[in-house]
């Protein structure tokens, strides 16, 4: 018996699935994804669906911010671009909403590339503020095109080839399919030469250009990919929702998305993002539905939402301070601990 | 008379558990120049940071043993307190405030020392070049000038013990010579005790009275400078003189295996 | 969930779930908190007092409150929770954007939705109800008051053109002005989040336009800033404010200089004029039960209370069997077939036509007098020749 | 449009700008001592405003309200230094941005509990005066009189004193500053406290000028735009940046409103984007020396 | 300025060494690989480079020395394309690369190490090395996203190349460690390994041995000599350790205050009056 798993070729060493445990985990995950509708009731299924949608969005932001180091506070607005693209394509052009999702990705990507222009010159806080400005200007634009704060995707546009996405189970499977595909793509990009170029730009862009990275192109690429993800997520959201309004894509949502990246694990595109979404969104929703009755019982119902802000904000800040690499690093440490168990250092 | 500074059985760690210095003891006598030699990563800077308290800013601390200065225990104190007691650490890599002008650099430190204009002028007298460039942003100074400024800032404190960390790093030979003669001069004229960490063993041993050799966080050798200068191993590994000087050109043909450890 | 039956002692009790969607932390929370308190007090009060169906079965309402911070997307999330997790048969809602957004969905889900948005677009939605005229009808009634009190003149419309609530009555106002002989001198964009400088700029523009009247369609913050600014720039106008832009706090907010210039519309009578109105006995009793002092019973509290009250009245008119088997659908039928009286709190008794839910067409006008007190000008009705709600539905 | 209308527009723009500058200065002071932006400022401003409202109503004294606002702002600011900024020393900007945004979020909750997003006015008597074509109210006078001396003293403190140099030194390299014996912790705390003071004052002046309401939060976000328009490390420039912004907002709204209704509050960000395209470090900011 | 200065080989002397013309006289045409003509660069008031013309011959190891602030790093930065000189041109293999972007120059075969050690502190050693192959990557972003076709094949090839230099500089144990966590000596080695993996025609090395001990310097020198022997790579070495320079360089160029003050064999340089005054000291 070999004492461990050794790799014979670099190809094998670089493969996605390197160890039997990876394979096992993957199979378990797929089964869980497939079986969810059978296990979960309608409410939890819709929670799962939104979690998947936000996972897509956060993966995109994680590529822009975590991998390439280009701070963006306009991600929610880009989701909005995607959502409005789908809604208007369905309403005005009569396009099928599912078919409009790639279009949503591309539209948001185009806008995101525009937003990347400041990044050629700006860094850090200045860049963050430029994106914040873009976010607020886009919000204004949304409020002009959607003054009723309500743009629906007609239910009949959500049926493609006999599959009716108005049905929550179908919608869940569709979302899961898209999300997993996007996750695989994100993982591949992160480990490819494009991912390395982005990391180099993040660490030191002048040096990156000297070693042969086309810095503006790489930044634009990072924004483009991030925008595409945001657009797709927004498009999915438009299908999920009975109607979108611009309040779904405000600055506070951008802050939350950034929080998810930083809490989950910046630069850990796939699993870090998922962890961020599960903690800050799904986790909170579940907690809130327990917390609200509890607080009401204590006569503090008016504080329930105030607590939301306090708890989520504290989680974001504390994680950033205590765990620079995000919760995923905590998980890794736990894993490491058990791998070495019973021999802890 | 007790030594000016003594480090006794110190163990120094960075967060979370990076043990860099193990059970190290060393003494610096008042009025001497003492040098610490050692390869990269031996822990020279770590030691100086621990003495000056700056190590706190890198999440490090002395976990065992003690550091004594003129009879006071200064282990793990705050750097500004230690500075007030007369120990100033001139960090590696010319740590000056690059975005401030030379004058603002001096002002910033004078804020804490409370030096008057005369005292500032007195310090600048050692570094005539700086006087001409008071309004220049420090980041635009040449490397030598930056190192001079770094020392000048330290001098505003009228230190008793100056910790110099690789002052010659990345400097041209001429500047190195100038710098070392200035250090010598400071020692002679101001009576400042100096603890010097260096890679440039030749220069360091030239001006030192006493030397320590550090490797892997431990002192592996110590002695008066003139003794060390003649030591066979020091000659070979630190001064690059085996039997006569070994040329770098022949580097391929030998691969020395040394280690006192 | 719906229909869960239990026996408490000897009495049979039906528990039904009702969602309560409020804004206590969002941009409209300055009025939303009062509304939420009113609604909660009503739930507690009626549960305590006992709600009995037509056939005498006791109903316990289990309300699930969620604060959606005026974010329609969040509202949808909570609506899903109400529907999928708690199987509610009715929702007490809040804002215009979210109510309009959910209106088709609630019809599909057959859930009665009583909200605080009096948007005209909702009156044709089968499952949406509110015990007041829609904003357009209210505004028209307000214009009728202006006409009657001051004669004709020029009117300026100040509102936030990107907020559904503010925009809602504008088409009707423009149409009704023609009939009443008022001249609209322009639309002035006043952000819901106006700064004082914004308000002053708009005030100067209004003054320059030579307006005699101003319609303010926003909420209390920007409307009171506008009133203050109008006084500062010395505009000689009367400002008529939509229901959410004027209440008991207005005297403080607009400042002395604006006294005598501002009037507010309300479909419900203000608590300051409560004496002699029997419906208020119920409200005060409920407030007492909830431990809320009388002075905190505000117009907003009343609005929340009455919405729940309407639901309770509907439940009381339905049979237990209907309630259990058809839930929201049964309530809808009752709401569309009966007249509900709130003891003089609403400007008129509530009677919904099937397919067109404008329960009455009267409003109260409350004036902020020169001495800073609130004066009830009286009850006014929308002009006869025009159906303001329809105008908005067709044009909006 | 009449001269009167224009002159009042400009006057109000300047007044607004002065208040922008005051809040913006809070950002810049923190930047100069910590190389970070405190994104939590908008909520601190709001919190201070609500507390001062509560105090004003309870005590009935206007001075007490000012003191309360300033004290709250200073206290929160110092607490943030201790709990957030200090542990994050040496971490990249994205960490600071994220952490202070987290605080923004958390403080929003605190503000909701304290203020309940009420809309109210600080009870003071307001009189109106006519000076030439200008309509001036008591609160206009108070904002000007309150802001200008503070500007002057902060600028002098930073520009002309060793204290200012020491603060900047700490901002650039805290560890290096510590090695030279600078009391890093105290300086940072002092810097944040000063920022808190300026912010608190800005908050109460704003409350007097308009209302105490959740909208103050957006005002402070726009002030951040003013701070970047000026350049984060410039103090004197903030006044120009703020006033430029106030004027742009007023005049821009006036001109653009017919075409883009309600663009007013977003003009700040349009201006910001334009400025950053032309001058990446703001109008008066100094470029960072970057070397390889 | 006279117009003559832009013509290679005809620049006048006037107290400044004009190496391009000197080179023509000394070595004849044809062998040079990289040269600059009259490069001038200022920062604010500081004249970092003042009409610098240097020539690098194919296959040689050129030492570039001079006091601090002489402009050595600036010159490398001009060659790499980070700074745009106000005047002057840079030529590589006969073509004018003055208007190319930094990454385009890297692609042509100019590699570079950095004065301040690690530049990409959060990347692992393997990533840092493979990064340097980015200019030659094959496969579109779509292929990379799918980890298929050309992109996948290229990644494997890149990994092989990276492993080769990891071997050469004995970096095995650090392969998956972030560069920022390594001791400075190892960082310098990684930097050199990374430059080597590009298999460049010219490597520009900015103080690759600064702050290293004698033993570590030996390691770097050993690698340098190894590369030269196996691949014949042309190198420019900026270094303050005169012993290293005199031992291993074929020729040195000495700069002072933005000007070239000496160009010739190392043993002559150390005896040169001007060099001693400006650089070595008495
Ligand atoms: N802030 C830190 N956190 C963790 N480890 C550190 C830190 N600073 C240094 N180390 C580690 O401590 C060891 C000793 O480093 P130190 O800088 O003290 O060595 P040195 O002798 O000064 O070397 P050099 O000659 O390169 O200056 C090294 O292995 C280094 O990686
Ligand atoms: N980005 C920059 N901004 C401003 N001045 C600069 C910049 N880069 C270099 N300089 C200035 O240009 C001159 C030359 O600097 P350079 O770094 O090229 O010198 P060097 O020869 O490499 O010195 P060293 O041996 O210290 O590395 C110096 O005066 C330096 O201050
Ligand atoms: Mg060191
Ligand atoms: Mg250099």
Q: Please report, for the domain that includes residue E49, its CATH number.
A: 3.40.50.300
Q: Is the pLDDT of residue A340 over 80?
A: no
Mean of pLDDT values over E238-244: 89
Q: CA angle, B197 as apex, B196 and B199 as ends, to 5°?
A: 130
Q: CA angle, E108 as apex, E107 and E109 as ends, to 5°?
A: 90
For position B80, which CATH number holds? 3.40.50.300
**B53 to D165: CB separation less than 8 angstroms, yes or no:** no
**E170/chain A closest Cα distance in angstroms:** 18
Mean pLDDT of chain B: 86
**Same domain for B169 and B153:** no
Subunits that touch chain D (at least 3 Cβ pairs < 8 angstroms)? Answer: A, B, C, E
B-facing residues of E in 60-79 (CB < 8 A) are: 65-70
**B234/chain D closest Cα distance in angstroms:** 31
Which atom of ligand 2 is the closest one to the Cα of E74? Answer: 18
Mean pLDDT of chain C: 91
**Same domain for B5 and B64:** yes
- DSSP code string of A34-60: HHHHHHS-HHHHHHHHHHHHHHHHHHH
Q: Is the pLDDT of residue C165 over 80?
A: yes
**C200 to D214: CB separation less than 8 angstroms, yes or no:** no
Model pLDDT, residue A342: 55
Q: How far apart are CA C229 and CA C231, in angstroms?
A: 5
Which atom of ligand 1 is the closest one to the Cα of B166? Answer: 27
State how many domains chain E has. Answer: 1
**A208 to E120: CB separation less than 8 angstroms, yes or no:** yes
Closest residue to atom 1 of ligand 1, CA basis:
B58
Subunits that touch chain C (at least 3 Cβ pairs < 8 angstroms)? Answer: A, D
> E66 alpha carbon to ligand 4 midpoint, in Å?
10
Non-local (6+) Cβ contacts of D96 within 8 A are D36, D37, D85, D88
pLDDT in tens, E85-114: 999 999 998 889 999 999 999 999 999 998
Between the two ends of chain B, the Cα-to-Cα distance in Å is: 32
Q: B–C contact (≥3 CB pairs within 8 Å)?
A: no
Q: Which of A264, A265, A260, A301 is nearest to A281 (CA)?
A: A260
* D289 → closest Cβ in B91, B105, B139: B139
Handedness of CA C11, C14, C15, C19 (dihedral sign): negative
User: What does the domain layout of chain D look like in residue ranges?
Assistant: 3-278
**Same domain for B124 and B247:** no
| C-beta B45 within 6 A of ligand 1 | yes
Q: For residue E28, what pLDDT band results from cuts at 50, 70 and 90?
A: low
Chain D residues whose CB is inside 8 A of the C160 CB are 262
Q: How far apart are CA B148 and CA B124, in angstroms?
A: 10
**Same domain for B37 and B165:** yes
**C100 to A148: CB separation less than 8 angstroms, yes or no:** yes
Closest residue to atom 31 of ligand 1, CA basis:
E183
Nearest chain E residue (CA) to B142: E69
* C198 → closest Cβ in D1, D2, D264: D264
CA dihedral A125→A129→A134→A137, nearest 10 degrees, is 180
Judge whether D101 is closer than 8 Å to chain A, CB to CB: yes
Judge whether E118 is closer than 8 Å to chain B, CB to CB: no
**D117 to C193: CB separation less than 8 angstroms, yes or no:** no
**E282/chain D closest Cα distance in angstroms:** 31
Helix-helix angle A193-203:E149-168, to 10 degrees: 60
Q: Is residue B181 part of a domain?
A: no
Judge whether D193 is closer than 8 Å to chain C, CB to CB: no
Helix (H) or strand (E) holding C112: strand C112-114
Non-local (6+) Cβ contacts of D98 within 8 A are A258, A259, A262, A316, A317, A320
Q: Is the pLDDT of residue C233 over 50?
A: yes
Nearest chain C residue (CA) to D124: C255
Range of the domain at B215: 1-86+160-175+191-226
pLDDT in tens, E116-128: 766 798 999 999 9
> E182 alpha carbon to ligand 1 midpoint, in Å?
9
- Mapped onto helix, strand or coil, the DSSP state of residue E225 is helix
Q: Is residue B131 part of a domain?
A: yes
> B165 alpha carbon to ligand 3 midpoint, in Å?
7
Model pLDDT, residue A2: 43
The pick from B39, B41, B58 for probing ligand 1's pocket by mutation, whose C-beta has the most ligand atoms within 8 angstroms, reads: B41
Judge whether E43 is closer than 8 Å to chain B, CB to CB: yes
Exposure of A338 by Cβ count < 10 A (0-12 exposed, 13-18 middle, 19+ buried)? Answer: exposed
**Same domain for B44 and B167:** yes
Between the two ends of chain A, the Cα-to-Cα distance in Å is: 26
Q: Is residue B185 part of a domain?
A: no
- CA–CA distances in Å: residue C62 to residues A74, C49, E235: 40, 14, 81
Q: Which of A320, A73, A311, A265 is nearest to D84 (CA)?
A: A320
β C112-114/C58-67 pair status: unpaired
Helix-helix angle E149-168:E184-197, to 10 degrees: 130
ipTM score assigned to the predicted complex: 0.89
* B100 → closest Cβ in D172, D178, D182: D172
Model pLDDT, residue E1: 35
Q: Whole-prediction pTM value?
A: 0.91
**D109 to A134: CB separation less than 8 angstroms, yes or no:** no
Report the half-sphere exposure of B4 (CA within 13 A, side-chain side).
Answer: 21
Model pLDDT, residue C26: 82
Q: Which of C63, C84, C61 is nearest to C15 (CA)?
A: C61
Judge whether C296 is closer than 8 Å to chain D, CB to CB: no
Q: Which ligand is nearest to the CA of E69?
A: 2
Q: For residue A3, what pLDDT band results from cuts at 50, 70 and 90?
A: very low
Please list every protein residue whose CB sits less than 6 Å from any atom of ligand 2: B 140, 142-143, 170; D 289, 291; E 43, 46, 48, 66, 68-74, 115
**A270/chain E closest Cα distance in angstroms:** 13
Exposure of A196 by Cβ count < 10 A (0-12 exposed, 13-18 middle, 19+ buried)? Answer: buried
For residue E232, report the phi and psi dihedrals to the nearest 5 degrees: 65, 30
User: What does the domain layout of chain A look like in residue ranges?
Assistant: 10-246
> E230 alpha carbon to ligand 4 midpoint, in Å?
28
pLDDT in tens, A101-142: 999 999 999 999 998 888 888 878 888 889 999 999 999 999
Q: For residue E217, what pLDDT band results from cuts at 50, 70 and 90?
A: confident
Ion ligand 4: residues, Cβ under 5 Å:
E 73, 115
Q: In what order do the strands lie in the sheet with B18-28?
A: B18-28, B5-14, B60-69, B72-73
Chain B residues whose CB is inside 8 A of the E280 CB are 173-174
**Same domain for B248 and B147:** no
For residue D231, report the phi and psi dihedrals to the nearest 5 degrees: 110, 125
Chain E residues whose CB is inside 8 A of the A225 CB are 141
Non-local (6+) Cβ contacts of C178 within 8 A are none
**B173 to E280: CB separation less than 8 angstroms, yes or no:** yes
Exposure of D92 by Cβ count < 10 A (0-12 exposed, 13-18 middle, 19+ buried)? Answer: middle
Model pLDDT, residue D51: 95
| Cβ contact D12:D247 at 8 Å | no
| Cβ contact C224:D28 at 8 Å | no
Residue, of D211 and E15, whose pLDDT is higher? D211
| Cβ contact A233:A54 at 8 Å | yes
Q: How far apart are CA D288 and CA C128, in angstroms?
A: 60
- Whether omega for the bond prior to residue C194 falls within 30 degrees of 0, making it cis, is no
Q: How far apart are CA E259 and CA C297, in angstroms?
A: 85
Partners of residue B12 on adjacent β-strands: B21, B62
Task: List residues in chain A touching C: CB distance below 8 A.
Answer: 41-43, 46, 50, 143-144, 147-150, 152, 241-245, 247-248, 250, 285, 289, 292, 296, 301-302, 304-306, 309
- DSSP code string of B116-161: -HHHHHHHHTT-HHHHHTTTSBGGGS-HHHHHHHHHHHHHTT--SE
Judge whether E142 is closer than 8 Å to chain A, CB to CB: no
Between the two ends of chain D, the Cα-to-Cα distance in Å is: 56
Helix (H) or strand (E) holding C59: strand C58-67
Mean of pLDDT values over B235-254: 66
The pick from D289, D290, D292 for probing ligand 2's pocket by mutation, whose C-beta has the most ligand atoms within 8 angstroms, reads: D289
DSSP summary character for residue C353: B
Model pLDDT, residue A341: 57
pLDDT in tens, A215-272: 999 999 999 999 999 999 999 999 999 888 888 899 989 999 999 999 999 999 999 9
Model pLDDT, residue C182: 92
| C-beta B97 within 6 A of ligand 1 | no
Model pLDDT, residue E30: 47
Chain C residues whose CB is inside 8 A of the A143 CB are 162
Domain D3-278, architecture per CATH = Orthogonal Bundle (1.10)
**Same domain for B107 and B67:** no
**D116 to A302: CB separation less than 8 angstroms, yes or no:** yes
| Cβ contact B110:B120 at 8 Å | yes
Which atom of ligand 2 is the closest one to the Cα of E69? Answer: 19
**Same domain for B125 and B46:** no
Find which of A200, A321, A322 to mutate to test the D interface (most D CBs within 10 Å of its CB). A321
> E210 alpha carbon to ligand 3 midpoint, in Å?
12
> B205 alpha carbon to ligand 3 midpoint, in Å?
17
| Cβ contact A269:A66 at 8 Å | yes
Q: For residue A332, what pLDDT band results from cuts at 50, 70 and 90?
A: confident
State how many domains chain B has. Answer: 3
Kindly give the parts of chain D with pLDDT less than 70.
1, 288-292
Judge whether D119 is closer than 8 Å to chain C, CB to CB: yes
């Amino acid at each position: 018996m070999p004492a461990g798993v050794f790799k014979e070729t670099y190809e094998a060493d670089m493969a996605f699935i390197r160890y039997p445990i990876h394979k096992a985990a993957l199979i378990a995950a797929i089964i869980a994804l497939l079986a969810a509708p059978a296990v979960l009731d309608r409410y939890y299924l819709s929670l799962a669906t939104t979690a998947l949608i936000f996972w897509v969005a956060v993966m995109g932001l994680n590529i822009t911010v975590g991998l390439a180091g280009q701070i963006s506070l306009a991600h929610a607005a880009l989701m909005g671009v995607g959502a409005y693209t789908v809604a208007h394509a369905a309403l005005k052009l009569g396009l099928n909403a599912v078919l409009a999702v790639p279009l949503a990705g591309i539209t948001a990507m185009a806008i995101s590339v525009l937003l990347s222009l400041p990044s050629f010159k700006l860094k850090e806080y200045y860049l963050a503020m430029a994106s914040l400005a873009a976010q607020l200007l886009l919000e204004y634009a949304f409020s002009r095109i959607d003054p009723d704060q309500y743009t629906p995707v007609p239910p009949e546009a959500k049926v493609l080839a006999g599959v009716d996405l108005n049905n929550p189970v179908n919608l869940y499977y569709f979302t899961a399919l898209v999300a997993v595909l996007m996750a695989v793509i994100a993982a591949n990009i992160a480990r490819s030469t494009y991912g390395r170029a982005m990391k180099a730009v993040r660490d030191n862009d002048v040096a990156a250009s000297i070693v042969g990275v086309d810095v503006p192109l790489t930044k634009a690429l990072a924004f483009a990919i991030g925008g595409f993800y945001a657009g797709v997520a927004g498009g999915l959201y438009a299908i999920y929702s009975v109607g979108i309004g611009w309040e779904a894509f405000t600055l506070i949502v951008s802050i939350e998305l950034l929080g998810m990246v930083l809490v989950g694990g910046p630069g850990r595109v796939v699993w870090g993002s998922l962890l961020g979404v599960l903690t800050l969104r799904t986790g909170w929703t579940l907690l809130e539905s327990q917390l609200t009755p509890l607080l009401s019982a204590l006569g503090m119902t008016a504080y329930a939402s105030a607590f939301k802000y306090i708890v989520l904000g504290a989680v974001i800040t504390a994680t950033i301070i205590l765990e620079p690499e995000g919760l995923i690093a905590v998980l890794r440490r736990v894993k490491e601990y058990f791998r070495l168990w019973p021999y802890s250092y | 008379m007790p030594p000016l500074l003594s480090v006794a059985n110190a163990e120094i760690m960075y967060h979370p558990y990076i043990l860099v210095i193990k059970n190290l003891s060393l003494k610096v006598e008042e009025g001497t120049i003492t040098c610490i030699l050692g390869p990269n990563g031996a822990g020279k800077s770590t030691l100086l940071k621990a003495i000056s308290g700056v190590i706190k800013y890198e999440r490090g601390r002395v976990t065992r043993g003690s550091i004594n200065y003129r009879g006071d225990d200064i282990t793990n104190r705050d750097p500004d307190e230690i500075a007030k007691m007369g120990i100033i650490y001139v960090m590696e890599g010319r740590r000056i405030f690059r975005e401030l002008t030379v004058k603002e650099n001096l002002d910033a430190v004078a804020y804490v020392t409370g030096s008057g204009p005369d005292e500032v002028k007195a310090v600048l007298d050692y570094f005539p070049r700086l006087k001409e460039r008071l309004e220049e942003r420090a980041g635009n100074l040449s490397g030598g000038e930056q190192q001079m400024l770094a020392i000048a800032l330290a001098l505003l404190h009228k230190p008793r013990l100056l910790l110099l960390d690789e002052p010659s790093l990345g400097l041209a030979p001429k500047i190195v010579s100038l710098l070392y003669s200035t250090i010598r001069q400071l020692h002679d004229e101001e009576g400042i005790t100096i603890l010097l960490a260096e890679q440039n063993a030749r220069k360091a041993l030239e001006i030192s009275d006493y030397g320590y050799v550090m490797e892997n966080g431990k002192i592996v050798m110590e002695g008066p400078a003139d003794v060390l200068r003649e030591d066979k191993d020091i000659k070979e590994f630190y001064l690059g003189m085996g039997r006569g000087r070994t040329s770098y050109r022949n580097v391929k043909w030998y691969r020395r295996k040394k280690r006192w450890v | 969930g719906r229909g869960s039956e239990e026996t408490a002692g000897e009495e049979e009790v039906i528990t039904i779930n009702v969602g309560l969607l409020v804004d206590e932390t969002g941009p409209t929370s300055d009025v939303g908190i009062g509304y939420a308190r009113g609604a909660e007090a009503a739930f507690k009060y009626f549960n305590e007092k006992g709600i009995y169906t037509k056939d005498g079965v006791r109903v316990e309402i289990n309300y699930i409150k969620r604060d959606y911070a005026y974010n329609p997307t969040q509202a949808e999330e909570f609506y899903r929770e109400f529907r999928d997790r708690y199987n509610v048969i009715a929702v007490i809602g809040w804002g215009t954007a979210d109510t309009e957004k959910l209106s088709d969905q609630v019809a599909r889900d057959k859930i009665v939705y009583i909200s605080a948005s009096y948007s005209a677009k909702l009156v044709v939605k089968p499952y949406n109800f509110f015990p007041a005229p829609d904003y357009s009808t209210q505004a028209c009634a307000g214009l009728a008051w202006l006409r009657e009190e001051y004669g004709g003149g020029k009117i300026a419309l100040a509102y936030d053109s990107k907020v559904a609530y503010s925009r809602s009555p504008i088409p009707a106002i423009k149409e009704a002005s023609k009939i009443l002989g008022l001249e609209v001198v322009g639309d002035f964009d006043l952000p819901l989040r106006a700064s004082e400088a914004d308000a002053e700029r708009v005030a100067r523009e209004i003054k320059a336009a030579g307006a005699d009247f101003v319609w303010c369609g926003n909420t209390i913050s920007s409307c009171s800033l506008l009133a203050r600014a109008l006084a500062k720039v010395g505009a000689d106008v009367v400002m008529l404010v939509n229901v959410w832009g004027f209440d008991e706090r207005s005297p403080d907010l607009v400042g002395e200089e604006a006294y005598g210039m501002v009037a507010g519309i309300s479909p419900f009578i203000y608590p300051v004029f409560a004496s002699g109105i029997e419906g208020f006995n119920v409200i005060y009793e409920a407030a007492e039960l909830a431990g809320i002092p009388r002075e905190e019973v505000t117009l907003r509290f009343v609005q929340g209370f009455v919405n729940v009250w309407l639901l309770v009245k509907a439940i009381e008119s339905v049979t237990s069997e209907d309630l259990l088997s058809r839930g929201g659908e049964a309530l809808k039928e009752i709401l569309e077939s009966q007249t509900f009286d709130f003891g003089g709190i609403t400007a008129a008794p509530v009677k919904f036509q099937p397919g067109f839910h404008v329960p009455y067409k009267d409003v109260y006008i409350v004036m902020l007098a020169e001495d800073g007190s609130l004066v009830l000008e009286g009850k006014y009705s929308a002009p006869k020749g025009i159906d303001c709600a329809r105008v908005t539905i067709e044009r909006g | 449009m009449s001269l009167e209308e224009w002159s009042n527009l400009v006057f109000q723009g300047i007044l607004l700008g002065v208040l922008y500058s005051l809040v913006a200065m809070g950002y810049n002071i923190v930047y100069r001592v910590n190389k970070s932006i405190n994104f939590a400022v908008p909520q601190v401003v709001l919190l201070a405003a609500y507390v001062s409202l509560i105090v004003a109503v309870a005590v009935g004294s206007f001075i007490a309200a000012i003191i309360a606002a300033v004290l709250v702002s200073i206290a929160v600011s110092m607490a943030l230094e201790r709990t957030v900024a200090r542990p994050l020393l040496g971490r990249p900007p994205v960490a600071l941005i994220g952490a202070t945004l987290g605080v923004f979020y958390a403080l929003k909750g605190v503000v909701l509990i304290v203020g309940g997003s009420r809309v109210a006015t600080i009870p003071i008597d307001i009189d109106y005066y006519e000076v030439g074509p200008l309509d001036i109210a008591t609160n206009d006078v108070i904002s000007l009189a309150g802001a200008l001396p503070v500007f002057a003293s902060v600028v002098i403190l930073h520009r002309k004193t060793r204290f200012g140099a020491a603060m900047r030194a700490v901002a650039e390299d805290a560890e290096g500053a510590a090695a030279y014996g600078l009391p890093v912790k105290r300086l940072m705390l002092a810097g944040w406290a000063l920022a808190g003071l300026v912010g608190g004052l800005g908050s109460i002046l704003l409350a007097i000028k308009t209302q105490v309401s959740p909208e103050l939060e957006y005002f402070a976000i726009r002030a951040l735009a003013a701070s970047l328009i000026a350049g984060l490390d410039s103090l004197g420039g903030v006044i120009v940046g703020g006033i430029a912004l106030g004027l742009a907002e007023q005049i821009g709204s006036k001109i653009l409103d017919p075409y883009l209704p309600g663009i007013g509050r977003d003009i700040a960000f349009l201006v910001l984007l334009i400025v950053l395209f032309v001058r990446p470090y703001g109008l008066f900011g100094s470029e960072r020396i970057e070397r390889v | 300025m006279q117009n003559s200065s832009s013509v290679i080989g005809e620049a006048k002397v006037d107290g400044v060494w004009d190496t391009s013309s000197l080179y023509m006289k000394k070595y004849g045409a044809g062998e040079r690989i990289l040269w600059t003509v009259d490069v001038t660069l200022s920062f604010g008031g500081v004249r970092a480079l003042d009409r610098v013309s240097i020539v690098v011959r194919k296959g040689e190891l050129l030492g570039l020395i001079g006091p601090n602030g002489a402009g050595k790093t600036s010159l490398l930065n001009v060659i790499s394309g980070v700074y745009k000189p106000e005047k002057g041109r840079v030529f590589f293999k006969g073509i004018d690369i003055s208007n190319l972007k930094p990454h385009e120059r890297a692609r042509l075969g100019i590699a570079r190490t950095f004065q301040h050690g690690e530049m990409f502190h959060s990347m692992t050693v393997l990533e840092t090395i493979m990064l340097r192959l980015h200019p030659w990557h094959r496969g579109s972003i779509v292929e990379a996203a799918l980890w298929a076709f050309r992109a996948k094949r290229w990644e494997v090839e890149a990994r092989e190349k990276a492993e080769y230099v990891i071997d050469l500089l004995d970096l095995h144990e650090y392969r998956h460690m972030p560069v920022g966590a390594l001791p400075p000596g190892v960082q310098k080695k990684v930097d050199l390994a990374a430059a080597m993996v590009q298999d460049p025609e010219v490597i520009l090395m900015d103080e690759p041995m600064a702050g290293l001990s004698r033993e570590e310097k030996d390691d770097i020198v050993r690698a340098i000599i190894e590369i030269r022997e196996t691949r014949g790579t042309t190198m420019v070495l900026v270094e303050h350790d005169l012993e290293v320079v005199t031992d291993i360089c074929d020729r040195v160029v000495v700069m002072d205050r933005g000007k070239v003050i000496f160009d010739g064999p190392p043993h002559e340089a150390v005896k040169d009056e001007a060099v001693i005054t400006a650089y070595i000291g008495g």
